[in-house]
């Protein structure tokens, strides 16, 4: 998509973020056209150095951004930061409560300098009794009911991705967009707050409302009473697995015809979806045995031919070669900070038929320091002096 079609072109974001939540907010705004400047410490965002399950964080959530390295604990570094902020529409941060206030970079301080500033604060909790606690995605999954719902009874299990960090960042970006729209009407910015815990509660709200409606506590997903009889993972030939679903009476008839289950189709105990849900104890063993004689490829072909829901059990890295993602532009090439080439996942939306793409690779530490400092009025000599004193790099 050409840059001039991106909706937030001309908006400048200065972010003081690390890990996932704050960087996700900046990534969303950057993908949609904003100029996002990542302010890093002289040693770099520690997220750059993570291994294991955190190894992909920096490269995933920091594309389309510029990097400037500043020592905020020096007067000269703070001066650079304030000049950047004075040029910004949005400031985004996700540090511990009161960290930004100690630096004089909280909303109350910065809004006095720039009343039009939109300030996005990503925290573990919105203001209240818990806001002093240190939160992580897994912490709020445990205390917010998500791990309970994901695991088997007595075995709480975190979700398989950083759902609260990522969605908390998306809601931070959504709040920033709303604040920019409000600024068009009022001429003033405002503070936006997004939080891990409240995001997690939003995710499990459907189960909270289930209890409110039925008076019965929601069971963990692995042991729940399913809304549909056939909505499960099946073990099939060659030790493979596949997810199959039949979620309406019409689909049940199609399913039975496709696999020659005439007796099941005619069985009065299986006429409606609710009948089939109640019949699961004896129906599922029959279906598991019959379908288990097929391969996953055969079942996929039949289900796709008849428009029935199905899914292979896919590992995340296999998606890099997914034909749909590659054919539709869902993946885009990037260069990692260490120079290696790979593909990354774009935002799951289109604008005017196009996926917002990659304009800037995940930045090297301080890659744009000189350019940004020049824009702020610093001469080559002044930049060299700052670098010599380790104020920037």
Using CA atoms, how far residue 365 sits from 38, 66, 80, in Å, is 10, 9, 17
Q: What are the start-end ranges of the H helices in the chain?
A: 21-31, 57-61, 75-86, 99-103, 107-113, 137-143, 146-150, 163-186, 196-203, 205-214, 249-259, 262-266, 273-278, 280-291, 296-305, 323-327, 369-375, 380-388
Task: Give buried/exposed letters for 13-43 (b at 16+ CB in 10 A, else e).
Answer: bbbbbbbbbbbbbbbbbbbbbbbbbbbbbbe
Fold match between domain 3-203+322-388 and domain 226-315 = no
Q: What is the mean pLDDT of residues 190-198?
A: 98
Report the alpha-carbon distance of residue 218 to residue 75 in Å, rounded.
Answer: 55
304 contact partners, CB below 8 Å, separation of at least 6: 310
Whether the predicted pLDDT of 357 surpasses 80: yes
Of residues 240, 278, 271, 244, the one with CA closest to residue 259? 244
Task: Work out the widest C-alpha separation in the chain, in whole angstroms.
Answer: 87
**CATH of the domain spanning 226-315, picked from 3.40.47.10, 3.40.50.10860, 3.30.1540.10, 3.90.950.20:** 3.30.1540.10
Q: What are the start-end ranges of the H helices in 130-248?
A: 137-143, 146-150, 163-186, 196-203, 205-214
Can you name the CATH fold of 3-203+322-388? Rossmann fold (3.40.50)
The residue extents of the domains of the chain are 3-203+322-388, 226-315
pLDDT digits (tens, 9 = 90+) for 18-76: 999 999 999 999 999 999 999 999 999 999 999 999 999 999 999 999 999 999 999 99
Whether the predicted pLDDT of 1 surpasses 80: no
pLDDT digits (tens, 9 = 90+) for 306-344: 999 999 999 999 999 999 999 999 999 999 999 999 999
Percent of the chain residues past pLDDT 70, beyond the cut: 99
178 contact partners, CB below 8 Å, separation of at least 6: 192
pLDDT digits (tens, 9 = 90+) for 275-318: 999 999 999 999 999 999 999 999 999 999 999 999 999 999 99
Which pTM does this prediction carry?
0.94
Place of tokens 């209890």: 211
Residue 255's pLDDT is: 98
């Amino acid at each position: 998509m050409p840059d001039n079609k991106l909706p937030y072109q001309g908006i400048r974001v200065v972010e003081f973020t690390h890990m996932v939540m704050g960087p996700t907010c900046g990534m969303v705004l950057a993908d949609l056209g904003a100029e996002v400047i990542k302010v890093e410490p002289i040693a770099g965002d520690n997220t750059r150095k993570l291994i294991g399950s955190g190894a992909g964080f920096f490269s995933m959530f920091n594309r389309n951004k510029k990097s400037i390295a500043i020592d905020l604990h020096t007067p000269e570094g703070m001066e650079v930061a304030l000049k950047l902020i004075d040029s910004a529409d949005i400031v985004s941060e996700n540090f511990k409560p009161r960290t930004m206030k100690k630096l004089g970079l909280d909303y109350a301080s910065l809004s006095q300098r720039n009343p039009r500033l939109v300030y996005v604060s990503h925290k573990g909790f919105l203001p209240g009794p818990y806001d002093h606690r240190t939160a992580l995605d897994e912490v709020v999954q445990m205390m917010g009911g998500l791990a309970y719902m994901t695991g088997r009874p007595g075995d709480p299990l975190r979700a398989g991705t950083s759902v609260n960090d990522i969605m908390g960042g998306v809601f931070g970006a959504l709040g920033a967009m709303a604040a920019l729209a409000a600024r068009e009407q009022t001429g003033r910015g405002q503070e936006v707050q997004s939080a891990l815990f409240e995001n997690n509660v939003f995710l499990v709200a459907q189960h909270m409302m289930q209890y409110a409606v039925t008076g019965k506590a929601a069971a963990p997903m692995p042991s729940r009473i399913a809304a549909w009889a056939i909505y499960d993972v099946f073990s099939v030939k060659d030790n493979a697995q596949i997810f199959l679903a039949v979620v309406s009476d019409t689909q049940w008839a199609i399913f039975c015809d496709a696999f020659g289950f005439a007796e099941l189709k005619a069985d009065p105990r299986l006429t409606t979806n609710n009948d089939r849900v109640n019949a699961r104890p004896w129906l599922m063993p029959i279906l598991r045995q019959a379908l288990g004689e097929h391969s996953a490829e055969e079942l996929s072909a039949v289900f796709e031919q008849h428009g029935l829901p199905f899914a292979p059990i896919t590992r995340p890295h296999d998606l890099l070669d997914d034909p749909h993602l590659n054919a539709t532009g869902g993946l885009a090439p990037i260069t990692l900070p260490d120079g290696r080439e790979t593909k990354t996942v774009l935002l799951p939306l289109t604008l005017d038929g196009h996926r917002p793409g990659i304009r800037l690779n995940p930045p090297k530490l301080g890659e744009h320091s000189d350019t940004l400092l020049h824009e702020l009025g610093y001469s080559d000599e002044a930049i060299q002096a700052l670098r010599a004193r380790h104020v920037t790099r």
